[in-house]
Amino acid sequence: MIDFSAFEKSVGFTFKDKELLKTAFTHRSYLNENRGTVKAHNERLEFLGDAVLELVITDFLFEKYPERPEGELTAFRASLVNTQSISSAAKELNMNDFLLLSRGESKDTGRARQFILANTFEAFIGALYLDQKYDAAKKFIENTLFGKIDKIVAERLWQDAKSTFQEKTQEEYSVTPSYKLVREAGPDHDKKFIVSAQIKNEAIAQGEGRSKQEAEQEAARAALAIKGW
């Protein structure tokens, strides 16, 4: 059985309720294969953690950028809490080493693992909030995400990729790009969308996301890179 004390030490938070911490790292697939050894999977904690994360980041950006309009703050927040950003933070914390997954999920280390890590990051925030209240959750988010915003703003990574892709496509081809849903993957509670960015019905790139909007942004971002725009 995984010893979570090493993780607690690395992040600087010791849980009063160890079962809560374990649940944060428990994927639904593991519960299905190991009934009796764990009590619950992490989806409810993820739901809570997502709300706490959004509040903390919104408060942080509101105070840090008093002159920025609401639209830009929304874009900053989206860049800071998207799947790529928070799964990257999870990797930096070595969360991957503590995941409780089914044998099948353990073999997949690609894009699906990125989603699992992002979900686990949010679930941990939810667990920390329940175990040690808001200030502890805020401190954890501060330690892991606040430092990323300067790069996002300086390199304009927050800009809407879809808008940029549309502008460039209209300049180069005099047409508006389109997006096509390629497929949906995963169960309803953890749906992933794969979308294709197209110019004149030609697929340029694909993107994945936990919503169609996020998938379209990822596809547009990939298409911009492919086109060198």
Using CA atoms, how far residue 77 sits from 7, 27, 72, 127, 214, in Å, is 27, 26, 9, 22, 13
Catalytic residue among 43, 46, 50, 216: 50
Question: Both ends of the chain: CA-CA distance in Å?
Answer: 49
- 84 to each of 62, 224, 229, how far by Cα in Å? 22, 17, 21
Calpha distance 122→79 (Å, rounded): 15
Q: Tokens for 38, please give them.
A: 């764990």
**Rounded to 5 degrees, what angle do the CA atoms 132, 138, 141 make?**
115
- Catalytic position from the list 43, 105, 122, 218: 122
SS3 at position 132: helix
Instruction: Identify whether 19 is a catalytic site residue.
Output: no
Contact 75, 160 (CB under 8 A): yes
CA–CA–CA angle 68, 73, 74 (5° rounding) = 150
122 belongs to the catalytic site? yes
Active site residues: 50, 122
